[in-house]
Structure 1
Amino acid sequence: MRLALLLGGPLLITEGLRERLKAFRLWAADSGARHALELGLPLELWLGDMDSSPPWLQEALPAPRVLLPPEKDLTDGEALMRRALEAGPEEVLLLGATGGRLDHTLAHLELAFLLAERGIRVELSDGLTRTFPLLPGEHAFSLEAGAPFSLLPFPEATLGVEGARWDLPPTPLKATTRALENRALGPIRLWVERGRALLHLFP
């Protein structure tokens, strides 16, 4: 099962995204449901306390709803991700998870690692950029020659890069921009020998 979780951050809607999402089941957290309306795709589940979903959105979007109490110790987004964990998907696409509020972005990145640690393929996207949480091990990505990317320790890691304009032998990194704004020569291989990292792809 492939799940696309629609969260409340900004999302650039493109025809390419619409086409890709045809292979996913769409779930939304509270105001993230507005993305389903713009995408014009059916929403299978709408979860939240609806405090950030205006009445016009609730009237315009028919979807099965799970109402949460406004007084709770987790966000609607986290509640949705934990429900996704219970469903056992093989892949989760987090849309609208980055950008907007910094506190929510950082929380979503941490939660993405929680999904990855359960063996789920995870990607975060705002419709323009793509971010992948990387756990210890070797990772391969089929990038085109010249494609820009950044590799970030999160918050510290021993990282290596091969197949880029600036290759990097396994190196301990922490609080640095050393591995930002690299360029792929074609497919790249990344090593996370210790810690956790984020691969960020951007135009």
Structure 2
Amino acid sequence: MPGQVKTTTGPRPEPMRSWVFASPSNLRKMKRKALLIANGELNQTDVQFGMDTCKRGLIIATDGGANQAIEAGIIPDVVIGDMDSIQPQTKELLAAKRWILKPSQEMGDLEKALLFCQEEGIEELTIIGFTGGRLDHALGNLSVLARYDRVFQYRLFSPHAELFFVRDTITLSSSPGTPVSLIPLEKAQGVTTKGLAYPLCSEPLSVGQREGTSNRATGTRFSISIASGLLLVFRGL
């Protein structure tokens, strides 16, 4: 949230032993927390982190993401989108679930799912499957996610990193050597870091000029602050 320090502490999630899925009768009760599965790359790592972070929450998938979810052994409670990517076997397996047809081509299925989450009162939103595949889709998804980062308390997991949007200050847990990268989405002024091998002190980062890739944590915590702009921070899993 703007003006607040976001802090992630404690150990990383344990490898998952069992998955608990919401039943239709519990959708309203569990609406404040959700896992959203988009139609991108998944592997066992981000699936485990996603499920462990969002235990007992509502599980939502875009129509293409529903195919990915089934392959990963996840049963969504809600499928949303224009349904142009859904596979027949997925539709059959999820026939009893909630289907929300949104045929508009003015926005992608990820944004349709985000709007649904906003309407349902979701506050804590874990998202997987938003990277990989076509580069234009991945970049477009990051742009959409940035547009809603003030609406939700995100946990964003790609197969190799957890991602964070930073508009002010963030402090994160780490291990020595954890990979960290800083990518400016808007021109970021006054970037200062602590706890990284290659520190920045009130320096600018901007697209096409300077980025902060391939850094690493030196200890169990690191912090990043900016005076203005927007950074996308990658913390390796």
Deviation track 1:30-77 (CA, whole Å, cap 9, x = no partner) reads 1101232134333121011211112122112342101122x5311111
* Structure 1 Cα separation of the partners of residues 169 and 85 of structure 2: 40
8 A Cα contact 1:98 1:124, kept in partner: no
How many Å apart are 1:23 and its aligned residue? 4.1
Unaligned runs of 5+ in 1: none
How many Å apart are 1:178 and its aligned residue? 4.3
The equivalent position to 1:31 in structure 2, one of 41, 64, 68, is 64
Deviation track 1:75-105 (CA, whole Å, cap 9, x = no partner) reads 1111111111222322212211112122222
For residue 167 of structure 1, what is the aligned residue in structure 2? 199
For residue 148 of structure 1, what is the aligned residue in structure 2? 179
Deviation track 1:172-191 (CA, whole Å, cap 9, x = no partner) reads 11124541111101201100
For residue 43 of structure 1, what is the aligned residue in structure 2? 76
For residue 236 of structure 2, what is the aligned residue in structure 1? 202
8 A Cα contact 2:188 2:230, kept in partner: yes
* Structure 2 Cα separation of the partners of residues 31 and 125 of structure 1: 18
* Structure 2 Cα separation of the partners of residues 23 and 103 of structure 1: 33
* Structure 2 Cα separation of the partners of residues 57 and 42 of structure 1: 10
CA RMSD in angstroms comes to 1.9
The equivalent position to 2:225 in structure 1, one of 183, 191, 196, is 191
* Structure 2 Cα separation of the partners of residues 29 and 59 of structure 1: 16
Q: Report the TM-score when normalising by structure 1.
A: 0.89
Runs of 4+, deviation exceeding 4 Å? none
Deviation track 1:9-33 (CA, whole Å, cap 9, x = no partner) reads 1111247334344243210111101
* Structure 1 Cα separation of the partners of residues 64 and 116 of structure 2: 17
In the alignment, residue 231 of structure 2 is paired with which amino acid? A
In the alignment, residue 36 of structure 1 is paired with which amino acid? A
In the alignment, residue 86 of structure 2 is paired with which amino acid? S
Q: Percent identity?
A: 28
* Structure 2 Cα separation of the partners of residues 58 and 13 of structure 1: 23
Q: Report the TM-score when normalising by structure 2.
A: 0.77
How many Å apart are 1:111 and its aligned residue? 2.0
Unaligned runs of 5+ in 2: 1-31
2:154 equivalent to 1:122: yes
* Structure 2 Cα separation of the partners of residues 153 and 167 of structure 1: 16
Structure whose residues are more often strand by fraction: 1
The equivalent position to 2:139 in structure 1, one of 79, 86, 106, is 106
In the alignment, residue 34 of structure 2 is paired with which amino acid? L
